[in-house]
Amino acid sequence: MVLPVKESAESTKVICIVCPKGCILEGRRDERGVTIQNGCPRGQEYAYRELQNPCRIVTTTIAVRNAALKRLPVRTSLPFPKRRIPELIDFLHTLSVEAPVRVGTVLMENLLGEPGVHLVATRTIERKSPSRETERQT
Amino acid sequence: MPRRVKAQVVVIGGGPAGMASALAAFENGARPVFLLERGEYLGGILNQCIHPGFGLHLFGEELTGPEYAERFKEKLSRTQVEVLLNTTVLEITPQRIVRAVNPQGVWEFETTRAVLSMGCRERTRGMLRLPGTRPAGIFTAGLAQYLVNIEGLLPGKEVLILGSGDIGLIMARRLTLEGATVKAVVEVRDSLSGLLRNYVQCLHDFNIPLWLSHTVTTIQGKERVEGVVVSRVDEGGRAIPGSERVVPCDTLLLSVGLIPENELSRQASIPLCPRTGGPVINEYFACEREGFFACGNVVGVFDLVDYVTLVSQGVGEAVNIPTAFSPAKYHLVPGDGVSLVIPQKIQEGKKGFLFLRSLQSFRQAAVSFSFQGKEFHKLRVPLCYPSEMIRLNIQDIPWPSQGGEIRIGITGERIRGIY
Ligand SMILES: Cc1cc2nc3c(=O)[nH]c(=O)nc-3n(C[C@H](O)[C@H](O)[C@H](O)COP(=O)(O)OP(=O)(O)OC[C@H]3O[C@@H](n4cnc5c(N)ncnc54)[C@H](O)[C@@H]3O)c2cc1C
Ligand code: SF4
């Protein structure tokens, strides 16, 4: 499979994680573009993306106010560019939300300008109640 | 005076196993159903597993631990399952009296069916017999996960992780993202314990080294960890003299395994399996004591929560099946290459799942079933890893007509290294 080259890439090894086989694919650059060696079509597609712009789902926590819990777990709705993850984490450290929050709520759209990548709450957190309830959760 | 309550089903532990079994029992008509959880919230360990990787098998999408838990919390809130939070079970008698305590007082449940779903706990330093001083800065990986993800605290700045299981790998990434430096992950075996995908996304992505065939031999530091001595080990897992190197760090994370939590099961005189550390069960996940079921990590360590949910739903159905406690016909034992077989007993071989865990990583593997020394069934598995349980349908296996001991082994070409 020969793919067009977008940025200068030297021979790079990619461990494919699409299936448990874990093939090692090699991306090589020549005058025709990036050639991915070894692997099946699905793996080659993965390796191509890994060489172009690897992305990951990012999960972390942000501060939450007026809740019995201190941290709200969050995720990106779609994979986010790997090289910008440290920047994203630093940014998320500055955020805080007010309870109650429901799981699935979009807290912020287009994170750091990445189109379509939103910040989503992954847990429902109620507002802190003055007396702790033990009997039935609602 | 304790409050006395009669119940049809009491579920002990509100993690994914307890939630799924309580729900399924209720949906199958059991009344009343009580779900007792010592924590402030349902969800168990899932609440602190904020990474994605849950639910692919069950929901066809990749959820984080809290998202997975929320689906079941929501379902439960739409039923009349009586959920008691902040409620710790202190004792269970063999006659199924469940004694629990919560801020309202002491409770005594007299129940027809008791479901054990207390999960597991982590192996600690004492169990490893690590020499050296006893400074602060040594944590189990799960405790560190709780501190970071629930409390928002960073356990240390320079970290060494012992054990390459999934929890250790996931914590390597988590701590790195939060600003700590993870010096290395040290693994005593010659192959990765966790999933390849976790190696790639948690170590490789962040250039964290993985030292296979190495172990921690000494911990340095008086008040706080100042460094650890890491040595290479030989084939037998013994440290090689002269191979020591000192790794300066302020924190050591132990990710060296989980043990099913079975103090309560012991009190109830429920027979335990020395291999799994959990109750001996049959295909209904019924224990060898009338009226008791067990599901989830209390039975043996499941790495996939989807499988936990699946077997727990089965338990919820089985509470109404009168023959669930009938005598078993087959007794399954782990043979060569197998570390774990769940269930250990089978009545008829017509329903349920069989879970196997291999001792090592193999390519071109074969699972072999034998009876009285003769193989009666063989199954090819292209790849098998200790980090991924093999799940089989019990009814697909041609069980012998005569009952007795069945030995299950796994052979194949050993995979060493990372993959
Ligand atoms: C760090 C980590 C990472 C994981 N990552 C993944 C992953 O990526 N994907 C995946 O599919 N699976 C993963 N798993 C596995 C999965 O989370 C477990 O298999 C599953 O949570 C087990 O569920 P459980 O209900 O048996 O136990 P738990 O979740 O441990 O729940 C047990 C519950 O019982 C309660 N309890 C215990 N004793 C008592 C008592 N005496 N009285 C009252 N309550 C009691 C506890 O408080 C707890 O809430 C991971 C597990 C861990 C530990
Ligand atoms: S290249 Fe294909 S076969 Fe190899 S690991 Fe990737 S998906 Fe699996």
Residues of A with CB under 8 A from a CB of B: 15, 17, 20-22, 24, 56-57, 59-61, 63, 68-71, 73, 75, 82, 85-86, 89, 103-104, 122-124, 132-138
In a domain, A133, yes or no: no
How many domains does the structure of chain A reveal? Answer: 2
Our CA dihedral for B330, B334, B340, B343, rounded to 10 degrees, sits at 0
- Band (pLDDT 50/70/90 cuts) for residue A3 is very low
- Band (pLDDT 50/70/90 cuts) for residue A135 is very low
Query: Do residues A84 and A117 both lie within one domain?
Result: yes
pLDDT at position A137 over 70:
no
Q: What per-residue confidence (pLDDT) applies to A14?
A: 87
Beta bridge partners of residue B408, listed in sequence order: B334, B369
How many domains does the structure of chain B reveal? Answer: 3
Pocket test for ligand 2, best of A25, A40, A44, A48 (most atoms within 8 A of CB): A40
Ligand 2 center from residue A17 Cα (angstroms): 7
Query: Do residues B60 and B93 both lie within one domain?
Result: yes
Query: Do residues A117 and A91 both lie within one domain?
Result: yes
| Closest in A24, A103, A137 to B70, CB measured | A103
Query: Do residues A80 and A114 both lie within one domain?
Result: yes
Ligand 2 binding pocket includes A27 (Cβ within 6 Å): no
Show residues of chain A in contact with B151, CB under 8 Å. Answer: 70-71
Query: Among A43-57, A67-81, B79-93, B298-312, where is mean pLDDT lowest?
Result: A43-57
Query: Do residues B212 and B266 both lie within one domain?
Result: no
CATH code of the domain containing B65:
3.50.50.60
Instruction: Render pLDDT for B19-70 as a digit per residue (tens, 0 to 9).
Output: 999 999 999 999 999 999 999 999 999 999 999 999 988 999 999 999 999 9
In a domain, B419, yes or no: no
d(CA B199, CA B399): 38
Q: What per-residue confidence (pLDDT) applies to B124?
A: 80
- Looking at B326, B356, B372, the residue that finishes a domain is B326
- Looking at B256, B289, B309, the residue that finishes a domain is B256
Instruction: Render pLDDT for B317-338 as a digit per residue (tens, 0 to 9).
Output: 999 999 999 999 999 999 999 9
In a domain, A24, yes or no: yes
Ligand 1 center from residue B373 Cα (angstroms): 38
Query: Do residues B20 and B110 both lie within one domain?
Result: yes
d(CA B54, nearest CA chain A) in Å: 12
Nearest CA to A70 out of A82, A61, A79 is that of: A61
Query: What percent of chain B has pLDDT above 70?
Result: 99
Angle between helices B16-27 and B305-318 (to 10 degrees): 30
- The 3-class SS string of chain B reads CCEEEEEEEEEECCCHHHHHHHHHHHHCCCCCEEEECCCCCCCHHHHHCCCEEECHHHHCCCEEHHHHHHHHHHHHHCCCCEEECCCEEEEECCCCEEEEEECCEEEEEEEEEEEECCCEEECCHHHHCCCECCCECEEEHHHHHHHHHHHCCCCCCEEEEECCCHHHHHHHHHHHHCCCEEEEEECCCCECCCCHHHHHHHHHHHCCCEECCEEEEEEECCCECCEEEEEEECCCCCECCCCCEEEECCEEEECCCEEECCHHHHHCCCCECCCCCCECECCCCEECCCCEEECHHHCCCCCCHHHHHHHHHHHHHHCCCHHHHCCCCEEEEECCCEEEEECCEECCCCCCEEEEEECCCEEEEEEEEEECCEEEEEEEEEEECCCCCEEEEHHHCCCCCCCEEEEEEEEEEECCECC
In a domain, B334, yes or no: no
Q: What per-residue confidence (pLDDT) applies to A121?
A: 98
In the block, tokens 């993870």 appear at B182
Average pLDDT for B189-209: 93
In a domain, A38, yes or no: yes
Instruction: Render pLDDT for B217-227 as a digit per residue (tens, 0 to 9).
Output: 999 999 999 99
pLDDT at position A33 over 80:
no
- What is the CB < 6 Å shell around ligand 1? B 12-18, 36-39, 44-46, 49, 53-54, 88-89, 117-119, 142, 145, 166-167, 261, 264, 296-298, 302-306, 308
- Band (pLDDT 50/70/90 cuts) for residue B1 is confident
Query: Do residues B237 and B385 both lie within one domain?
Result: no
Q: What per-residue confidence (pLDDT) applies to B106?
A: 97
In a domain, A128, yes or no: no
Pocket test for ligand 1, best of B10, B34, B45, B303 (most atoms within 8 A of CB): B45
Flag if A134 and B200 touch (Cβ within 8 Å): no
Strands of the sheet with A12-15, listed across from one edge: A2-3, A33-37, A24-30, A12-15
In a domain, A108, yes or no: yes
Query: Do residues B311 and B372 both lie within one domain?
Result: no
Q: Using an 8 Å Cβ cutoff, are A56 and A37 in contact?
A: no
Query: Do residues A63 and A107 both lie within one domain?
Result: yes
Q: What per-residue confidence (pLDDT) applies to B127?
A: 59
Average pLDDT for A95-116: 97
Query: Do residues A37 and A67 both lie within one domain?
Result: no
Query: Do residues B94 and B8 both lie within one domain?
Result: yes
Query: Among A29-33, A121-125, B173-177, where is mean pLDDT lowest?
Result: A29-33
Q: What per-residue confidence (pLDDT) applies to A130?
A: 64
In a domain, A15, yes or no: yes
In a domain, B76, yes or no: yes
Query: Do residues B38 and B154 both lie within one domain?
Result: no
Query: Do residues B277 and B391 both lie within one domain?
Result: no
Q: What per-residue confidence (pLDDT) applies to A18?
A: 85
Q: What per-residue confidence (pLDDT) applies to B126?
A: 65
- Phi and psi (nearest 5°) for B71? -60, -40
CATH code of the domain containing A115:
3.10.530.10
Q: What per-residue confidence (pLDDT) applies to A65?
A: 96
Q: Which residue has the higher pLDDT, B270 or B383?
A: B270
Mean pLDDT of chain B: 95
In a domain, B335, yes or no: no
Domain enclosing residue B99, as ranges = 3-121+259-326
Query: Do residues B212 and B229 both lie within one domain?
Result: yes
Ligand 1 center from residue B226 Cα (angstroms): 32
Domain enclosing residue A17, as ranges = 3-52
Ligand 2 center from residue A20 Cα (angstroms): 8
In a domain, A37, yes or no: yes
Q: What per-residue confidence (pLDDT) applies to A138?
A: 41
Query: Do residues A25 and A44 both lie within one domain?
Result: yes
Q: Using an 8 Å Cβ cutoff, are B225 and B236 in contact?
A: no
In a domain, A131, yes or no: no
| Closest in A57, A104, A135 to B52, CB measured | A57
Query: Do residues B138 and B97 both lie within one domain?
Result: no
Its pTM stands at: 0.93
Residues of B with CB under 8 A from a CB of A: 40, 42, 47, 50-52, 62, 64, 66-67, 69-70, 73, 76-77, 82-87, 102-104, 149-152, 177-178, 196-197, 199-201, 204-205, 382-383, 385, 388, 419
Query: Do residues A36 and A64 both lie within one domain?
Result: no
Q: What per-residue confidence (pLDDT) applies to A51?
A: 85
